[in-house]
Amino acid sequence: MTQRAVCPGSFDPVTYGHLDVIARTARLAEEVIVAVGMNMAKNGLFRPDERVAMLQEACQGWTNVAVMTFDGLLVDFCRAHDAEVISKGVRAADFAYELQMAQMNRRLTGVDTVFLPTAPEWAFVSSSLVREIATLGGDVTPFLPPAVAEQTVARVAAKLRESTG
Ligand code: PNS
């Protein structure tokens, strides 16, 4: 597909759905940068450095994948890192918004986006649903790598303790 592709996202936390897209991109591109957006990280469950650490652990089997944070516009990050393509997993429900962002990003600097249809087994998984399920005491282990599931359950419990004093 290309020499260097960027897989951007919030990854709060990284799910098996994200990892499927990263793995597929790593087969299509020579190098992949997983880019954790800092703009949206302010009120997240995990700090950006924690998201990066979880991603690094989850991606350690792929030698052509690096994990970084980015601030500001994604297109500027792509340009600064000589990445020709943005790679995004898309679910049917997100398609209109993802298309709009892809078209805007192309208009801004010419960087193109490839969409990888989310694997059916992960099509219903999202970080926001995982956070909600964990907060309400449900089992999130089918959707997250074991270390991520453990940290998610612990963080949700700590936040609940904080909020109830
Ligand atoms: O995990 P998400 O929520 O799908 O990630 C969204 C992300 C980080 C890819 C998107 O919000 C983004 O690119 N933010 C960076 C700011 C930016 O470039 N905005 C203009 C988009 S056209």
- Supply the pLDDT for residue 43: 81
d(CA 37, CA 58): 18
Give the pLDDT of residue 42.
Answer: 66
Backbone angles phi, psi at 62, to 5 degrees: -105, 115
3-class secondary structure per residue, 89-100: EECHHHHHHHHH
Using CA atoms of 26, 126, 36, 29 in order, give the dihedral in degrees to the nearest 10: 10
CB 39 near ligand 1, within 6 Å: yes
36 within 8 A of 56, measured Cβ to Cβ = no
82: alpha, beta or left, given left = phi > 0 and alpha = psi -120 to 50?
left
What the block records as the tokens of 69 is 């944070």
* Contact present, 36 and 55 (Cβ < 8 Å): yes
DSSP 56-83: HHHTTT-TTEEEEEE-S-HHHHHHHTT-
| Three-class SS state of 130 | helix
pLDDT, one tens digit per residue, over 128-143 is 999 999 999 999 999 9
Ligand 1, atom nearest to 35 Cα: 8
104 lines ligand 1 (CB under 6 A): yes
Asked if 8 and 41 count as a contact pair (C-beta separation under 8 A), the reply is no
What is the residue with the minimal CA distance to atom 1 of ligand 1?
A: 9
Give residue-wise pLDDT tens across range 80-116.
999 999 999 999 888 999 999 999 999 999 999 999 9
Of 39, 66, 42, nearest to 55 (Cα)? 66
Q: What residues are annotated to the active site?
A: 18, 42, 91, 127
Q: What is the pLDDT of residues 17-53, one digit of tens each?
A: 999 999 999 999 999 999 999 986 668 999 999 999 9
pTM confidence score: 0.96
